Amino acid sequence: MQKKRSGFRTAASMLAAVIFAAALACAFEILKLPEQVYLQSGNETELRTELPLSLSASEDTADAIALSGETLDDVTYSLSDKVTISSKGEGEAKLTVKLFGIPVKDITVTSADEKLLVAGGESIGVMLYTNGALVVGLMEVSGNNPAAEAGLKPGDIIVAVNGTEIRDAQHLTELVEENGESELSLGVMRDDKSLELQITPCRDSSDGALRLGAWVRDSTLGVGTLTYIDPEEKSFGGLGHAITDYDTGSLLNVKDGKIVLSDIVEIVKGETGEPGELKGYFSVQGEVLGNIEENTKYGIYGSLKNSSSINSDSVYPAANRDEVKKGKAKILCTLDDTGVQEYECEVTKVSHQNSPDQKSFTIKVTDEKLLELTGGIVQGMSGSPVIQNGKIIGAVTHVFVDDPTQGYGLYIDWMLEHDS
């Protein structure tokens, strides 16, 4: 009798474990479905799960979207098959996800004629890793100048040793040591052109190591501001200008990189002739918001990994540059642990541009609180979105050195043009 009871308990425990695992799988699949979907008119997106979930919508949303090419009605669509949500025009649609006929989640679909963006303003830590090793300076090695004699220059990027691609600066050191004191061939990129230089390493008398006579770097860290998230493309843009090496001024190419949230720990107030700074702290092991895929003159761009800590309610249409006018506007940025706040400013000059330029318009900070805290625009605010007449018009890029209350902005459509 005791054995039967024990067997019954074991079977019951196994059944409970199976039910619990199935419930977890269902919950995970449901959580993966978005709560909000943003579509520009004429575009579409797809939903699909492995669970027996269904999707339904009422007729009053038929003007905004269509499901799998059909005008909306009270028909239920199975999510175990691919369901395509298509934008037909401006409006909002409410979709209901059901499991065995029981509602488990609502999805709001917003369709608009204009590009919709989630405005940023969050302080972000930026970690960028380059292809190869960037030469930031030359040096003597035991009285010799091997790098200079070979024609190597600051700003060059060493990408290969004797035909072997290098992963990073440490890998370069290892390949030089393996080669010994004989001449080797360096694959170098200079101004987007490939070069091959012959160089003979020298033995450093101080520690016996073989050296090329060049200081190199393969990564950089910094703090800036997130400009926008594109909820339709699941991408982001930030900074409004390129990440460059602080020794050579060279634009850093991207092997990989990531952005994480940063905490502002100190504000250095800007003064005439001395730009201020937002000093931030972030962990390189922190939760990754997105992966950096491009570093351009007009900002950093990449794919979004996690937007749960971003205020997804802050959605604005992207303004065309012709819509930007002189007058009142707002800057979104983070200065402390209260998160993203709005600060008043004024667009004082608008440039009519036919090609991208970081100095698209001029802004003047008028918000008394921002002036008191920072003196105006400071380093670290680059990328802060600028809002005017209910639209995101661009991002802060630079501060006037002789007047920190003023700075430049970049049109949002220039940023979007380079987000590709």
The catalytic residues are 241, 367, 382
State the alpha helices, DSSP H only, in 41-165.
Answer: 146-150
Question: Considering only CA atoms, which of 281, 241, 285 is closest in space to residue 415?
Answer: 241
DSSP 63-81: TTEEETTEE--S--EETTS
Residue 115: its H or E element: none
Residue 231 near residue 111 (C-beta atoms within 8 A): no
3-state helix vs strand vs coil in the chain, percent to 5: 15, 50, 35
Q: Hey, is 262 helix, strand or coil?
A: coil
Six-digit token string for 252 = 């850093």
Residue 391 near residue 347 (C-beta atoms within 8 A): no
Q: What angle do CA 201, 205, 210 make, to 5 degrees?
A: 25
Residue 278 near residue 378 (C-beta atoms within 8 A): yes
Q: Hey, is 268 helix, strand or coil?
A: strand
DSSP 166: P
Question: Considering only CA atoms, which of 210, 235, 269, 251 is closest in space to residue 420?
Answer: 235
Beta-bridge partner residues of 263:
281
Pairing of strands 70-71, 65-67: antiparallel
Angular region, 284: left φ>0, alpha ψ -120 to 50, beta rest = alpha
**Alpha-carbon torsion (63, 68, 74, 80), positive or negative:** negative
Residue 94 near residue 57 (C-beta atoms within 8 A): yes
